[in-house]
A and B are shown apart, each in its own frame.
Chain A
Amino acid sequence: MGVFKRILRRLGFGKPRKLNRSRWGDLGLFLVLLIFGSFSAFPLILTTSNAFKPLDELFLFPPRLIPRNLTFDNFRDLAELIGNSWVPFSRYFFNTLLNTVVGTAGHVLIASMCAYPLAKYRFPGRTLFFTLVIYSLMFAPQVTATPNYIIVTRIGLIDTPAAIILPAIASSLGLYLMKQFMEQIPNELLESAKIDGASEYRIFFQIVMPLVKPAWLTLIILLFQRLWVTDGGAFIFSEEWKPVSYALRQIAAGTIERAGTIAAVSFIMMIVPVVFFVFSQSKIVETFSHSGMK
């Protein structure tokens, strides 16, 4: 009885009500979140638990959310497969590291550099440029895939990591979010720095950049996620420049006898961005409060 009462209290019953909130409304809210939350979480939990299941448990119905015989065999098999690959796996890993580190760092720096004048100053060409950026948010990158391929080939970037990194650096969503975030920096701060004789570049690097750290994380996760899943597509055809996701996808292309390994691959591909998000969530949400459009 005591336990029941305590649960009710934790759910907010018996406490003074918040403004304009009915008890039944709160209960309804709780139920809706519970149902849709489980719908959202179920496939992810299943992906996680499947990675730790032996093969005979993988296809059971009803699926076990907690494996009875917890095993790391799937990861061991994966490691074995990786160990036998033609190109050493460390090479795929290096490529992904190179793409994500150079890509995200370049994106944060270059998009912020561009966002600062857009957010804080008026000059000819500013409105036109920002309008183009907004329009570019309105169509998906698939639209420009063909000409992009031709351009990348003509510049001579084809089959180099730059073919993945450079277009990613110019991702317009990051520029947009950074510009909106920078608008809240008080102008007085910049002006007083200018009176003290600081140059625009110094103001940018020493005042503006440290102030927009929450937005860095947002730009990083958005780009990281994009670079993490890219498999190089048509832009990379040499095996030694392919990223991890490509190698893992090749392994995952197997059939039923590889079901365990595939589960392990899915789990790895999922857990890395999710963990990153868990640690940076509050900063990311802070950035998005300035994302509004007019």
Chain B
Amino acid sequence: MVQKTMASKKALRSKKTFSERAKNRWESAKKSLSKNKHYYILMAPFAILFFTFTVVPVIMSLFISFTYFNLLEPPRFIGLDNYIKLLLDDEIFLISLRNTLILAVVTGPLSYVLAFVFAWLINELRPKLRALMTLIFYAPSISGSAFLIWLLIFSGDVHGYANAFLIRFGAISSPILWLRSPTYIMMVIIIVQLWLSLGVSFLAFIAGLQSVDKTLYEAAAIDGIRNRWQELWHITLPSMKPQLLFGAVMQITTTLAIAEVSMQLVGFPSVQYAGHTIVTHLIDYGSIRFDLGYASAIATLLFLIMISTNIFVRSILRKVGS
């Protein structure tokens, strides 16, 4: 009997503490909310738009990918059917996956290294020349539809500059259909994409190089560093790590999303789907066939590919020099 009351008292006490604790937590949350009120208010407009147009769509995309949805009828749950069809029955998706991976493996690292090398070389120039060269390398990425000039360069008749040039020097005897023959389509996309690729990451590298502490170089010269290569490896690269990480994220995201160049230059769809990428496949199902469930499955897969590549590359880059 005594034991029982003790036990119930104990239970009562713990219950009280539990409700008290909850109350305390609520109080402290309220306090922190009122203390930080101004910050939340300042952040609210952006946060609302960001959630509406970025966070919610990602979640929605995941849900829609498990349904059949054509915008007219309400979505119908079909489980993993979209994914099964995508990975097992859709040969064109496999082609687009292969093309995207080729583009990512070739254009991604190459454009990343080129952006850094050019930024590094430009950094040695005098300020005025440096500004000019920065403009020359950065301009393609901001010049809108100017990349269409490559249609003229790679035009399939004898007047196309590439053909005319090669014929004049006797390398080929008849014009090559650069934009229509599956053998050359990927090459053309890679060249044009590289031309366009010195964007935001390039600027980040230029800026990063300018902010490296100059006294480090003098100290290094005393410590026995003899040429620019040693300087690059031992001082410049380690001090630029944050910019290098940022640049990698930008470059990976753009290369995995290549679509515009392919669609405008080699056509949509391209001959034998030779220039088809995951994003053009997504556009095909999303904007033309209106199979939104299937398009969402493609989008979700692309999302996973992009995020995992980014995390993987970041974890490698973080290790460099440490």
Contact = CB atoms under 8 A, between A and B. Distances in A.
Given A148-B57, A170-B49, A269-B143, A114 B303 contact: no
Contacts of A147: 56-58, 60-61, 64, 296
Given A146-B61, A150-B60, A294-B245, A61 B146 contact: no
Contacts of A139: 58, 253, 302-303, 306-307
Interface string B189-214: 00000010010100110111011000
Contacts of B225: 20
Contacts of A145: 282-283, 286-287, 299
A229 B196 CA distance: 15
Given A129-B47, A170-B50, A228-B144, A142 B149 contact: no
Given A249-B145, A293-B249, A166 B53 contact: yes
Contact of B203 (A22, A121, A138, A284): A284
B118 A277 contact: no
B279 A140 contact: yes
A86 interface: no
Interface stretch (B1-9, B77-85, B129-137, B177-185): B129-137
B258 to A, nearest CB: 9
Given A129-B47, A144-B57, A252 B145 contact: yes
Contacts of B134: 281, 285
| Chain B interface mostly | helix
B99 interface: no
B206 A170 contact: no
Interface string A283-294: 011111111111
Given A20-B226, A129-B47, A293-B249, A43 B159 contact: no
B246 A291 contact: yes
B101 to A, nearest CB: 16
A200 interface: yes
B237 interface: no
A61 B143 contact: no
A114 B228 CA distance: 42
B172 interface: no
B38 A138 contact: no
Max chain B Cβ within 10 angstroms of own Cβ: one of A19, A25, A287: A19
Contacts, number: 294
Max chain A Cβ within 10 angstroms of own Cβ: one of B53, B55, B217: B53
A273 B165 CA distance: 31
B201 to A, nearest CB: 9
B124 interface: yes
A39 B198 CA distance: 13
A26 B246 CA distance: 29
Contacts of A62: 161, 164-165
B269 interface: no
Contacts of B204: 288, 291-292
A266 B206 contact: no
Given A39-B195, A114-B45, A277 B146 contact: no
B249 A273 contact: no
Q: How large is the interface on B (under 10, 10 to 19, 20 to 34, 35 or more residues)?
A: 35 or more
| Chain A interface mostly | helix
B302 A143 contact: yes
Contact of B227 (A20, A110, A111): A20
B142 interface: yes
B104 interface: no
Contacts of B40: 117, 123
Contacts of A124: 29, 32, 36
Contact of B143 (A26, A44, A132, A245): A44
A237 interface: no
A284 to B, nearest CB: 7
Interface string A107-147: 00011011011100101100001001101111110111111
Q: Considering the complex of A and B, which 3 residue pairs feature the smallest CB-CB distances, nearest first?
A: A292-B242, A140-B257, A170-B49
Interface of B: 29, 32, 35-36, 38-40, 42-43, 45-47, 49-50, 52-58, 60-61, 64, 71, 114, 118, 121-122, 124-125, 131, 133-140, 142-150, 152-153, 159, 161, 164-165, 168, 195, 198, 200, 203-204, 206-208, 210-211, 217-218, 221, 225-228, 230-231, 240-243, 245-246, 249-250, 252-254, 256-257, 259, 279, 282-283, 286-287, 292, 295-296, 299, 302-303, 306-307, 310-311, 314
Interface of A: 19-22, 25-26, 29, 32-33, 36-37, 39-41, 43-44, 46-47, 50, 59, 61-63, 110-111, 113-114, 116-118, 121, 123-124, 129, 132-133, 135-140, 142-148, 150-151, 155, 166-167, 169-170, 172-173, 175, 199-201, 204, 221-222, 225, 228-229, 234, 245, 249, 252, 262, 265-266, 269-270, 273-274, 277-278, 281-282, 284-294
